[in-house]
C-alpha cells in the first residue's frame, strides 16, 4: 500500500473519531507530497511549537498547491477529493476553503516565528480564497445604485475620471459600521492575545488589502430620505449620483492576480455579536450592520487587491457602467451645481439627467424631485 493511501485511510479514520493525536501518530512517518498531508503535519507541529519543521511542511504544502489535480475521480496525490479505500469520497470543504486553510496556517506559523511580513502576505492570500462569496446580484445584468456625496475635490475627481473610489472601512463615519474595525482594534486584539497568539495581530493587518464603497439601492423613497442627505451629502449641500453598474462589478471573474470585487447587500439584524473569536469571516467583517440602519438599503462594493497599499483606490467604470443621473441637494449652492453640470456636459458623450431636491412646504419632512435647469 502506498503512503498516500495510508494517509487517506488515516484521514478517514480521523474524520470519524476526531482524535488528532492518534491521526498524527499514524501519518508522521509517511512520505507523500499531498498538500493536505503536509498541511496536517505542519498543523500539529505548529500546535506543539515546533515552528522550524512546521515552516518546512507548510511551505511544501503551498508548493504542492500548484499541481492540484481537479479530476474528482483521481486517486493520486493532490487530487481535488480524498477517497477511502472502499471507494467513497470523503466529505471535504471546497477546494478554495482548503487552500484558504493552508495559507491561514502559513500566516500563523510565520507569526509564531516573528516574521511579520511573510505572515501578513500569507494571511492576505488566505483572505483572497475566503472572499469568493456569492454576489447578491448574481443573476442581474446590471444594478442601479445611489451614492450620496459631499462636494469636494475627491468626489469631483470620480466624476471627471469616470471612476469609483474605494477606501478602508475604518474611514467610514460610524465606528460600528464594519465589524472588522472593532474586531481588529487594539483593545479587542489585546484581549484575544492574552494567551500565546501572535498571529492575531498580523491577521488583523491583512484586512488592509480590502477596500469598500457604500451605495444604496435605487429607490425614490431613499432619494427623498432627509437623513441620507443630512448624513452623507454635506447636510443637503452635496449631491447624489445614480450609477448603473454592470456585470463587471457584480460577477468579477477569477484571476491569478489576487484581485477580486463583488457587490454585497448589507445584512441588518439585532443579534448579539461576540468578538471574542480567533478569526473572522468576510460576511461578518464587512456586510453586517445593526437594524437601526435598515432604512439605508445599503449595497457595499467590496474590493480585494493584494498589491494595493494606498489608502484610496480608484476603480474605472467599464464601458457597460455609467452615471445615469445627478441629484443636487436642496441646499447645494448654485455655483457647485453649475460646476458639476459643466464637467459632465464636457466629459460624457451620452445624456445624463439632472435633478434638484426641493423642500416641500406642504409636507415639511418630504423632499420633491424636480428637473434641473442649467
pLDDT per residue as tens digits for the range 324-349:
999 999 999 999 999 999 999 888 98
User: Strand ranges (DSSP E) for the chain?
Assistant: 142-149, 163-166, 210-217, 239-246, 259-265, 267-268, 288-289, 298-305, 313-316, 322-328, 353-359, 367-371
What is the pLDDT averaged over residues 236-253? 89
Neighbours of 127 (CB within 10 A): 25
**Nearest Cα to Cα of residue 228 among 173, 174, 296, 288:** 296
- Look over the chain and give the mean of its residue pLDDT values, rounded to a whole number: 89
Answer yes or no: are the C-beta atoms of 83 and 178 closer than 8 Å: no
Query: Is pLDDT above 90 for 88?
Result: no
Q: Which pLDDT belongs to residue 1?
A: 80
Backbone torsions φ then ψ of 269, nearest 5 degrees: -160, 150
Q: Cell triple for residue 327?
A: 441629484
Q: Which secondary-structure segment (H or E) carries 238?
A: none
Q: Do 243 and 162 contact (CB within 8 A), yes or no?
A: no
SS3 content of the chain, % helix, strand, coil (to 5): 45, 20, 35
Given a cut of 70, is residue 103 above it in pLDDT? yes
Q: Could you tell me what percent of the chain has a pLDDT over 70?
A: 97
How far apart CA 238 and CA 227 sit, in angstroms, is 13
pLDDT tens-digit readout, 173-228: 677 778 888 887 777 877 776 555 677 778 888 888 888 999 999 999 999 999 99
Q: What pLDDT, on the 0 to 100 scale, is given for residue 254?
A: 66
Amino acid at each position: 500500500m502506498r503512503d498516500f493511501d495510508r494517509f487517506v485511510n488515516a484521514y478517514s479514520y480521523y474524520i470519524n473519531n476526531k482524535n488528532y493525536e492518534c491521526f498524527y501518530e499514524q501519518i508522521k512517518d509517511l512520505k507523500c507530497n499531498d498538500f493536505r498531508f503536509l498541511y496536517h503535519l505542519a498543523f500539529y507541529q505548529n500546535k506543539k511549537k515546533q515552528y522550524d519543521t512546521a515552516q518546512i511542511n507548510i511551505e511544501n504544502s503551498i508548493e504542492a498547491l500548484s499541481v492540484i489535480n481537479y479530476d474528482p475521480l483521481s486517486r493520486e496525490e493532490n487530487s481535488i477529493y480524498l477517497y477511502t479505500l472502499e471507494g467513497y469520497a470523503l466529505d471535504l470543504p471546497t477546494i478554495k476553503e482548503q487552500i484558504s486553510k493552508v495559507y491561514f496556517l502559513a500566516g500563523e506559523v510565520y507569526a509564531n516565528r516573528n516574521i511579520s511580513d511573510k505572515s501578513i502576505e500569507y494571511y492576505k492570500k488566505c483572505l483572497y480564497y475566503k472572499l469568493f462569496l456569492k454576489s447578491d446580484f448574481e443573476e442581474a445584468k446590471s444594478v442601479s445604485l445611489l451614492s450620496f456625496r459631499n462636494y469636494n475635490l475627491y468626489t469631483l475627481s470620480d466624476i471627471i475620471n469616470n471612476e469609483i473610489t474605494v477606501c478602508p472601512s475604518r474611514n467610514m463615519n460610524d465606528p460600528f459600521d464594519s465589524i472588522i474595525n472593532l474586531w481588529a482594534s487594539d483593545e479587542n486584539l489585546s484581549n484575544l492575545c492574552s494567551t500565546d497568539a501572535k498571529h492575531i495581530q498580523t491577521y488583523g493587518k491583512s484586512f488592509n488589502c480590502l477596500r469598500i464603497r457604500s451605495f444604496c439601492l435605487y429607490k425614490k423613497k431613499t432619494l427623498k430620505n432627509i437623513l441620507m442627505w443630512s448624513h452623507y451629502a454635506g447636510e443637503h449641500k452635496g449631491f447624489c449620483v445614480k450609477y448603473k453598474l454592470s456585470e463587471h462589478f457584480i460577477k468579477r471573474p477569477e484571476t491569478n492576480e489576487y484581485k477580486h470585487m463583488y457587490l454585497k447587500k448589507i445584512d441588518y439584524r439585532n443579534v448579539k455579536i461576540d468578538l471574542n473569536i480567533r478569526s473572522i469571516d468576510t460576511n461578518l467583517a464587512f456586510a453586517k450592520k445593526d437594524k437601526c440602519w435598515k432604512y439605508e438599503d445599503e449595497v457595499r462594493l467590496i474590493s480585494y487587491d493584494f498589491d494595493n497599499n494606498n489608502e484610496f483606490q480608484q476603480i474605472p467604470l467599464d464601458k457597460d457602467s455609467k452615471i445615469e443621473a445627478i441629484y443636487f441637494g436642496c441646499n447645494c449652492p448654485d455655483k457647485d451645481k453649475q460646476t458639476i453640470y459643466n464637467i459632465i456636459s464636457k466629459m460624457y458623450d451620452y445624456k445624463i439627467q439632472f435633478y434638484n431636491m426641493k423642500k416641500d412646504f406642504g409636507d415639511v419632512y418630504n423632499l420633491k424631485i424636480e428637473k434641473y435647469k442649467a
